[in-house]
Structure 1
Amino acid sequence: MNALVLFSALRNPLFARLYTAQTVSQIGDALTWVGLALLAAQLAGPQQAPAVLAIALTLRVSAFVLLSPLAGVLADRVNRRTVLVACHFGRLLVMLGMFLVTQVWQIYVLMFLLNALTAFFTPTNQATVPLVVGRDDARPAFALSSATTEVLGIVGPGLAGVLAAVLGTRALFLVDAASFLLAGLLMLTLPALRASDQPVDRSTLADVKDGTARLWRDPPIRFALLMELVAAVTGALILTVTVSRVQGGLNLGEAQYGWVMAAFGLGAALASLAVGAAGKRVPLTRFIALGAVVTSLAIVPGDLLPLGGLMVFWLLAGVGQNWVNLPTETLLAERTEEAAQGRVYGAHFAWSHLWWAFAYPVAGFLGTQLPGQAFLVGGGLALVLLASIWWTHRGAVAQRAS
């Protein structure tokens, strides 16, 4: 099957608008984090900027873990278009606030608000994809969205750097605000998007518990969720330790670091195309298992590789990361009835980010305490986790969940 099958999802006019709005807002997101780093350096100074960014990232994960299960329940109960539009316009206001920031504490407040809105937006948007295209056509739709996200992750920071040089740092937040405005207006053109018109007689807490219970009681989904822990360990090492390896271990500069991370993003983008092109010929759990193996093995020699080798292995690591995360999103759609997808995606968003909350400190410890062996030890830890999960969930893969 040709990789162009991904674009078949765009024949659905509702998904085309949903996808366009998501893409526009993601361009703005790419600008936000570059602008945040530059603004932190302006307000706190270059030496304190990493601490400001670390706190902002902690607030990001905290908002996701705390609020996304509630967001998923909301997505099952109300018009999802209303939630999506409100999140876009809410983030527009936050970006206008970032343009006016004068103190570091204001950054923290606005970053928590921004990510609280993202915690409501992302699970709702994920649950809306199968609602719009149907569960049987969710694979190419999710694959196209994932590939676009990865490509924007590669080109976005470069675009942000150019705009910052031409327009100034704070102007990035105005461009971001404009992207959220446009995305919100596009969302307003969609019809009402409800998972069910049946009255709800359950409590919010019961639905939150149900979302998590559905993740853990379904063997293929539980297998996928645990494999995301493996991907979080390897991904956290890549995001936190690569800069030390390139600049400290190889004595290279920022440009070379950018090349390595671009290779990582390129691998993820290519992997999205492969998932979409495979259709239903390859069971999703097989993709997930293979992805966990590839990303874990790819980082093991990272402490010894020269620049060229690091780029090749990081490209493979990006492939593996995507083959864990993207099929999991589709698996949730295919194994969950429509009326419950919101709370399941919300619970999944919380749990998957909880893995990263665990993985970041582990990566930080290895990077500082074992700088010459961080990837070897971290990759070994990932492989041990992988083997344990595989051994206890062999039946989930054997069932050919698809």
Structure 2
Amino acid sequence: MDEELRLLHRNQAANAISLNSSINNAARLIGPAIAGVVIGIAGSGVAFLLNSLTFVAIIVALVVMKGDQLTPRPPQPRGGGQVRAGFAYAWHHREIRLALLATLLVSALAQNFRVILPLMAADTFDAGASAYGWLMSFLGIGAMVGALICAYLANPSIRMITVELLLFGVLTMLAGIAPTYAIMLALMLGVGAGNTSFNTTSNALVLLAATPQMRGRILSLRNLMSNGATPVGSLVIGWVCHVWDARAGLIVGGVVCLLTCLILATATRSTNLERERAQ
């Protein structure tokens, strides 16, 4: 994320980070959605081939980037204890600590769509790969809507994360009890928007709250919480789906979102009370 600050002035950083986070998090849902449709129509081999071609766009973008328009910034010198310092900084910074905790919980147990939705399509609604593809497609459309809203607002805060988690949790639980496939598709729009809004806001918050010297380490911690927790949590959600069913997997994810929302709200209220007493 440091690249955004080199391409833009500091006063444009919030919009740039929010836009970058929006695109990144939306793509995590839109990509599998497109793949699901392609697999249903043409098979897995064609999906892999199309995925390989997308790297051409990245190469072209790097080639056409103009170096004279970048604003260079000296890198942080290497030294001992930098990882430990990053953890300590995150722990003592209230907003960063809460955002990382929320990311850990939600990523582990509420964002396992690739585990749950195939089971929903095959077992719950007795359909095939195309049905899964459409579920992911509607999830991706919702993700894009949520991404654009966050990029427009570009004002991340713990309160905003709390509201997004409340909506995300409620919609995920409703998806878990959806009586028909059509209703499930409609709810996927809201679930995708809520999921991407949370990821975008939490990512932008920790980056904007961190000092430039700590931003790289905080980003690494955030990625560890996000990308590292999901594979571990998928084992738990997979077990839940095996013991009960796919609906239970979604409901558990929704409950985790609401509990995380409660943790954030309680922490925010305690902080506000401390500030009032200090005054």
Shift of 1:326: 0.8
1:358 to 217, 224, 232: 232
2:153 maps to 1:153: no
Q: Which residue matches 2:123?
A: 248
Determine the C-alpha separation between the residues in 2 that align with 1:128 and 1:397: 35
Determine the C-alpha separation between the residues in 2 that align with 1:155 and 1:364: 20
Q: Which residue matches 2:244?
A: 370
Determine the C-alpha separation between the residues in 2 that align with 1:161 and 1:252: 14
Q: How does 1:213-362 map to 2 (within 5 A)?
A: 213-232=88-107, 233-236=109-112, 238-280=113-155, 283-305=156-178, 306-362=180-236
The higher relative CO (CA closer than 8 Å, separation ≥ 6) is in 2
In the TM superposition, what whole-angstrom CA distance separates every residue of 1:299-321 from its partner, at most 9, and x where no partner exists? 21333311122122222122221
**Could you say if the C-alpha distance between residues 154 and 243 of structure 1 is closer, same or farther in structure 2, counting changes exceeding 3 Å?**
closer
**Could you say if the C-alpha distance between residues 358 and 270 of structure 1 is closer, same or farther in structure 2, counting changes exceeding 3 Å?**
same
Shift of 1:169: 6.9
**Could you say if the C-alpha distance between residues 374 and 171 of structure 1 is closer, same or farther in structure 2, counting changes exceeding 3 Å?**
closer
In the TM superposition, what whole-angstrom CA distance separates every residue of 1:281-335 from its partner, at most 9, and x where no partner exists? xx52222111111111112133331112212222212222122211222223322
Determine the C-alpha separation between the residues in 2 that align with 1:293 and 1:257: 26
**Could you say if the C-alpha distance between residues 191 and 168 of structure 1 is closer, same or farther in structure 2, counting changes exceeding 3 Å?**
same
Determine the C-alpha separation between the residues in 2 that align with 1:189 and 1:223: 37
Aligned residues: 267
Q: How does 1:137-216 map to 2 (within 5 A)?
A: 137-149=12-24, 150=26, 153=31, 156-157=34-35, 171-172=49-50, 175-176=53-54, 178-187=56-65, 189=67, 194-196=72-74, 200=77, 203=79, 205-216=80-91
**Could you say if the C-alpha distance between residues 309 and 155 of structure 1 is closer, same or farther in structure 2, counting changes exceeding 3 Å?**
closer
Q: How does 1:55-74 map to 2 (within 5 A)?
A: none
**Could you say if the C-alpha distance between residues 329 and 172 of structure 1 is closer, same or farther in structure 2, counting changes exceeding 3 Å?**
same
SS in 2 for 1:325: helix
Letter in 1 for 2:207: A
TM-score normalized by the length of structure 1? 0.57
Shift of 1:162: 11
SS in 2 for 1:235: coil
Instruction: Give the alignment's Cα RMSD to 1 decimal.
Output: 3.3
> Identical aligned pairs, as a percentage?
18
Contact 1:299 1:379 in 2 (8 A): yes
**Could you say if the C-alpha distance between residues 130 and 171 of structure 1 is closer, same or farther in structure 2, counting changes exceeding 3 Å?**
same
SS in 1 for 2:218: helix
Shift of 1:384: 2.8
TM-score normalized by the length of structure 2? 0.79
